[in-house]
């Protein structure tokens, strides 16, 4: 089991950032801005953000912005809410949100709110509570929440609540830990967690811990390091994280490290990637693993970044 190979993970992320030609990079190209957010946040939690060239990253992020105000996943790709949040988060990490025209970006986001309070991801109309979270989180970071109808947005999220206290992507859709994070996160940011049955949802979430110590995302599924983030952050926001065995989860995450080449995978001995490296390290931060910066469970950014934005 052993310890977190922090140096190796930082090195792994810096290598992935530079690689552009192998098959993984090519297949990830359409969401490179999400990848950049995962990688950079991981580096920040590990205390290694200074190792990247901030100017180059920021100018690349800005090159992904469209006339509409929204961001694409890469240069020349279409804008979407998912990429817009990553762009804002990256700028927040570097304390450079001011580089944005907040008015313009928030107008892009607010025009994607539908009559029933839900959000479309882009102009093509796919609706999902993931986009509700992304919109609310983005606007909160830009201090522009008043641009949307928050009450309707909350009502829509509540309409996606299920028998188990969890949430799905649309009304009637099955609960899923990733979706629950989005809904709980959006309700947390808007001060609406009183709509949640914390004991019911807490029990469903804590039952995600399987024998190996890892967490799954739905009943009777395999554990996966990414749920260390989705489940843990939700449990923290509703104050039920003491209902799981934290040490066993720490051991599971550490067991998924590639200790030779760096990076963390979904399960022990699988291939690593930036996504799982981020969720593993962020999960360990939520578990108060020593030597890591604290991460905020709702905004998914380091606590010092969030406090800098909201408590000054």
Partner 1 sequence: MHGRPRKSATPVDENASALKAAKIRSLQSQFLENHHNHIYTKEALEINAKLIECNPEFMTAWNYRKLAFEHNISSQSESEKADSDHIKSIVDEELRVVENALRKNFKSYGAWHHRKWVLSKGNSSTERELRLLNLFQKQDTRNFHAWNYRRFIAGLKNISDEKELQFTTDMINDNFSNYSAWHNRSVLLSHLLEKKVEGYFPKEIFLKEEYEFVRNAVFTDPDDQSGWFYHLWLLDQTVKVDMPNLVSSWPPHGSEITKTTFPVILLFNEPVEGVNLHTVSVQVENDITKNTTWSPLSANKFKCGQAWLTHLTIPPGEFNSSKIFQVKISSEYPQGIISLNGVPCSRNWSFAFGVSVCHDVQPEGHSLRISMGEENFSTIDVNSNMMNFLKSNFDLATDYEQPTSSKWKSELIASEIDQYRELLSWAECKIGKLTLARLLMANDAMITDTAVAPNMTHVEEVLQLYSELMELDPTHYQCYKDEYSLVFLKQVTSSKESLMKYCCQYKESMSLNITGNVCLRFNSLSLSRMGSFERLLWVQSLDLSHNQLHSIEGLEALQLLSCLNLSHNKLVSFMALDPLRFMKSLRVLNISYNEIGAHTVDTRRYLCSSPLSHTLDYDKRFEEFATSDEKVVNFWDAYSVFSGLDIMQLDITGNAAVDERFVLFLVKLFPGLKWLDGEELH
Residues 74-103 that bind partner 1 (CB under 8 A): 76-78, 80
Closest by alpha carbon to 136, among 158, 123, 117? 117
Residue 133's Cβ-side half-sphere holds a number of Cα atoms within 13 Å equal to 26
CB 82 within 8 A of CB 112: no
Phi/psi for 273 (5° steps) reads: -155, 170
Q: Based on the shown chain and the rule CB under 8 A, indicate whether residue 44 belongs to the binding site for partner 1.
A: no
- Tokens 């001060």 correspond to what residue? 191
The two three-digit tokens of residue 141, written as one number: 């970071």
Mark 97-136 with x for binding to partner 1 (rule: CB under 8 A) and - for no binding.
-------------------------x-xxx-x--------
Which position among 3, 24, 103, 116 is part of the footprint of partner 1 (CB under 8 A)?
24
Rg value, the chain, Cα: 18
Nearer to partner 1, 8 or 240 (CB): 240
Q: Say which residue the tokens 């201090």 belong to.
A: 143
Q: Which residue has the tokens 């739905």?
A: 218
Cα-Cα-Cα-Cα torsion 259, 264, 265, 270, nearest 10 degrees, comes to: -10
Q: How many CB atoms lie within 10 A of CB 194?
A: 7
Q: Is 27 left (phi over 0), alpha (psi -120 to 50) or beta?
A: alpha
The answer to whether the CB of 33 falls within 8 A of the CB of 73 is yes
18 binds partner 1 (CB under 8 A): no
State the nearest-atom distance from the C-beta of 143 to partner 1, in Å. 10
Residues numbered 283 to 312 that lie near partner 1 (CB under 8 A) are 285-286, 288, 294, 296-298, 303, 306-307, 310-312
Residues 182-201 that bind partner 1 (CB under 8 A): 188-195, 200
Q: Does 27 bind partner 1 (CB under 8 A)?
A: yes
The C-alpha atoms of residue 125 and residue 128 are separated, in whole angstroms, by 10
Q: Which tokens is 22 given?
A: 């192998």
Q: Least Å distance between CB 145 and partner 1?
A: 6
Min dist. Cβ of residue 55 to partner 1 (A): 26
- With respect to partner 1, which residue has the nearer C-beta, 62 or 303? 303
CB 147 to partner 1: min, Å:
13
Interatomic CA distance for residues 31 and 180, integer angstroms = 22
Token readout for 312 is 């000054």
Shortest Å distance, C-beta 13 to partner 1: 15
Complex with partner 1: residue 49 or 249, whichever CB lies closer: 249
User: Quick one: which segment of 23-31, 46-54, 56-64, 91-99 binds partner 1 (CB under 8 A)?
Assistant: 23-31
If one asks whether residue 30 binds partner 1 (CB under 8 A), the answer comes out as yes
Only segment of 36-44, 49-57, 96-104, 217-225 that touches partner 1 (CB under 8 A): 217-225
Interacting residues with partner 1 between 222 and 281 (CB under 8 A): 224, 236-245, 248, 258, 265-267, 269-273, 276
CB of 112 to partner 1, least distance (A): 14
Beta-carbon contacts of 23 under 8 Å, excluding residues fewer than 6 positions away, are: none
Q: Which of 1, 2, 18, 23 binds partner 1 (CB under 8 A)?
A: 23
Of 67 and 269, nearer to partner 1 (C-beta) is 269
Cβ proximity to partner 1: between 48 and 208 the closer is 208
């Amino acid at each position: 089991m052993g310890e977190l190979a922090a140096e190796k993970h930082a090195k792994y992320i810096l290598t992935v950032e530079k690689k552009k030609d192998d098959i993984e990079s090519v297949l990830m190209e359409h969401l490179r801005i999400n990848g950049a957010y995962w990688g950079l946040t991981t580096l920040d939690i590990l205390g290694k953000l200074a190792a990247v060239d901030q100017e180059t990253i920021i100018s690349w992020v800005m090159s992904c912005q469209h006339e509409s105000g929204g961001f694409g996943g890469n240069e020349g790709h279409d804008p979407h809410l998912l990429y817009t949040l990553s762009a804002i988060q990256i700028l927040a990490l570097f304390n450079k949100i001011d580089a944005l025209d907040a008015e313009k970006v928030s107008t892009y986001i607010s025009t994607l709110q539908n009559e029933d309070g839900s959000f479309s991801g882009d102009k093509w109309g796919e609706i999902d509570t993931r986009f509700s979270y992304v919109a609310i989180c983005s606007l909160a970071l830009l201090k522009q929440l008043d641009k949307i109808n928050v009450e309707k947005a909350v009502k829509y999220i509540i309409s996606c609540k299920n028998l188990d206290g969890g949430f799905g992507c649309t009304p009637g859709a099955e609960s899923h830990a990733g979706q629950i994070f989005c809904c709980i996160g959006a309700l947390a940011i808007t001060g609406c967690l009183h709509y949640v049955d914390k004991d019911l949802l807490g029990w469903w979430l804590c039952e995600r811990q399987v024998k190996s110590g890892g967490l799954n995302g739905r009943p009777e599924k395999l554990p996966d390091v990414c749920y260390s983030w989705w489940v843990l952050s939700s449990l923290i926001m509703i104050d039920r994280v003491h209902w799981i065995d934290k040490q066993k989860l720490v051991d599971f995450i550490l067991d998924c490290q590639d200790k030779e080449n760096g990076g963390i995978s979904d399960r022990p001995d699988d291939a690593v990637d930036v996504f799982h490296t981020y969720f593993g390290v962020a999960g360990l931060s939520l578990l108060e693993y020593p030597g890591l910066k604290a991460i905020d469970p709702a905004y998914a950014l380091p606590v010092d970044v969030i406090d800098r934005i909201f408590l000054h």
